Amino acid sequence: MNILWVYAHPEPRSLNGSLRDAALVQLRSDGHTVEQSDLYAMQWNPVVQPVDYGHDPAERFKVATASSKALAAGMQTPDIVAEQQKLLRADAVVLQFPLWWFSMPAIMKGWVDRVFVEGFGYGIRRADGRSRRYGDGTLAGKRAMVVVSMGGSEHTVSPRGINGELDEMLYPIQHGILFYTGMSVLPPVLVASADRMTETDYPAAESELLQRVKGLPTDEPIPYRTQNGGDYDRQFVLRDDLAPEDTGVRIHTER
């Protein structure tokens, strides 16, 4: 397989850095091709550039529309095109990051903002005019997996844990970005209690990651419901007969 490993940690000698190094060694020795986007090392620019269309107030609405169009396919800078090419070449995409304020570090969000532009990440239509997203899109057929470390313990992301369930916490990333753009999302790898990890604890965390990495080609994805598979009405609301009485993000997974 061709694997794209996207990594967002400022310090290569961190826990995340050690885990990343071990995973890449294993993937390569198993015969996979690995490309990396080490966002801090690349000094990735996460900031969407404003487009200067002048100051005529009458143009304001057009400017707002044009700014999003300026991000669209065909008008990007070489750094964005290079990342899109890596994604297109990949069979599987791994996002590895430490959990910062319940999400990915800003540099990785800025990678998504700038790379997954209109015509690439969203705004893609089928011949019948229906949008291709949530299980369909440019990246359909590829696998994706989140590898995330967190300071909190596993209990805090258990079904009644104070942080909310892990799949709920990662829903904006796993469902809103990875599945949205068409990818099949494997269950995440969680490295919990990361700040308290000792040298004695580390081998278990590394071997769990390596085992999950081995499963990249074959593990069962999270069974998210596809937008165009018949489960949603014309307003993209889940049909009444599916997961009746239930609400929240969990209803978008077949159980």
Residues that bind ligand FMN (CB under 6 A): 9, 14-16, 98-102, 149-152, 194-195
- Non-local (6+) Cβ contacts of 54 within 8 A are none
Cβ proximity to ligand FMN: between 2 and 193 the closer is 193
Q: How far is the CB of 165 from ligand FMN (least distance, A)?
A: 14
Q: How far is the CB of 95 from ligand FMN (least distance, A)?
A: 14
Q: How far is the CB of 162 from ligand FMN (least distance, A)?
A: 10
Cβ proximity to ligand FMN: between 14 and 45 the closer is 14
Cβ proximity to ligand FMN: between 108 and 117 the closer is 108
Cβ proximity to ligand FMN: between 16 and 227 the closer is 16
Cβ proximity to ligand FMN: between 115 and 147 the closer is 147
Q: How far is the CB of 206 from ligand FMN (least distance, A)?
A: 13
Q: How far is the CB of 147 from ligand FMN (least distance, A)?
A: 11
Crossing angle for the helix pair 78-89 and 106-115, nearest 10 degrees?
Answer: 90
Q: How far is the CB of 19 from ligand FMN (least distance, A)?
A: 8
Cβ proximity to ligand FMN: between 45 and 193 the closer is 193
